[in-house]
Amino acid sequence: MITALKARLSQGYRTGNYPHEVPVLSERFRGLPRIDASKCTAECAACLDVCPVAAIEKSSGKTTLDMGKCIFCGECALTCPKKALEFTREHRMACHHRHHLEVDGTWNPADENEREAELHRLFGRSFRFRQVSAGGCNACEADTNVLGTIAYDLGRFGIQFVASPRHADGILVTGPVSKNMELALRKTYDAVPEPKVVIAVGACAISGGVFSGHQEVSGGVVDILPIDLFIPGCPPHPLTILDGLLRLLGKVR
């Protein structure tokens, strides 16, 4: 026992100081996409051809990348001959509206805060949610679970996972919502008392991701439940998820 206590004391304080201090992210981290319209030409379609999920569109001379579909593989940025498209190291990508995930170089999702005052009043001191894995590959689920570790310590913000939807203030959904999970998702949502919040985490939950269009999935949560927060990524970094939750509840600006 003494040996264990000494080892713990030698480790020091391991919990990060977010949001007051942003930890150093890996060089391989791909954050908020950025499109430089001045470099992007209408006749070039290199990025459209390599995107595996059709997340990039060109219309009226404007290039748009849909983060709700994007799996952040980075092939578009590597292929672009003029480097008009890049993935920045900005981890703040969550937003309240589906169309705000469409990046065209003119809007930053991190600027959105229209619902924060209301939700902070309701859940600012304590927020509990039930996580629903609706047919996911377990990548988004794993990065969500990381928030409970000592490095992030989600509980210090008054936010916790709960086992029963009847004890929850909302649900956090991952996965494309397989046909076998659709009824379970609806029942879970119905069991949460009003007022309640729905959070879609990852490309699959937002649009179906790589499974979009398959007959055995519903193409995400959008057509099934009203969504209050979209957190893009495949999977989203734990820091992106944490930041989205804190901004949803008005705990950071």
Phi-psi region of 172 (alpha: psi -120 to 50; beta: other; left: phi over 0): beta
Per-residue three-class SS string for the chain: CHHHHHHHHHHCCCCCCCCCCCCCCCCCCCCCEEECCCCCCCCCCHHHHHCCCCCEEEECCEEEEECCCCCCCCHHHHHCCCCCEEECCCCCCCECCHHHHEECCCCCHHHCCCCHHHHHHHHCCCEEEEEEECCCCCHHHHHHHHHHCCCCCHHHHCEEECCCHHHCCEEEEECCCEHHHHHHHHHHHHHCCCCCEEEEECHHHHHCHHHCCCCCECCCCCCCCCCCEEECCCCCCHHHHHHHHHHHCCCCC
Better pLDDT: 7 or 174: 174
Residue 224 identity (one-letter amino acid) = I
Look at residue 226 in the predicted model and tell me its pLDDT. 94
Look at residue 113 in the predicted model and tell me its pLDDT. 58
The model's pTM: 0.90
Strand 62-66, strand 56-59: pairing: antiparallel
pLDDT grade for 213, boundaries at 50, 70 and 90? confident
Number of domains, the chain: 1
pLDDT grade for 24, boundaries at 50, 70 and 90? confident
20, part of any domain: no
Q: Of the given ranges (81-90, 115-124, 154-163, 240-249), which has the lowest mean pLDDT?
A: 115-124
Look at residue 109 in the predicted model and tell me its pLDDT. 60
Look at residue 29 in the predicted model and tell me its pLDDT. 94
Strand 33-35, strand 62-66: pairing: unpaired
Instruction: Express each pLDDT in 133-183 by its tens digit.
Output: 999 899 999 999 999 998 899 999 999 999 999 999 999 999 999 999 999
49, part of any domain: no
pLDDT at 37 over 60: yes
Instruction: Express each pLDDT in 116-140 by its tens digit.
Output: 667 666 676 789 999 999 998 999 9
82, part of any domain: no
Which percentage of the chain shows pLDDT scores above 70?
Answer: 91
36, part of any domain: no
Tell me the average pLDDT across 216-243. 93
Strand 127-133, strand 170-174: pairing: parallel
| Segments forming the whole domain that contains residue 205 | 116-248
54, part of any domain: no
Neighbours of 58 (CB within 10 A): 16
Instruction: Give the CATH number of the domain where residue 222 resides.
Output: 3.40.50.12280
Residue pair 93/236 in contact by the 8 Å Cβ criterion: yes
Sequence-separated (6 or more) residues with CB below 8 Å from residue 118: none
Distance of alpha carbon 77 from alpha carbon 128, whole angstroms: 38
Q: Which residue has the tokens 């029963």?
A: 164
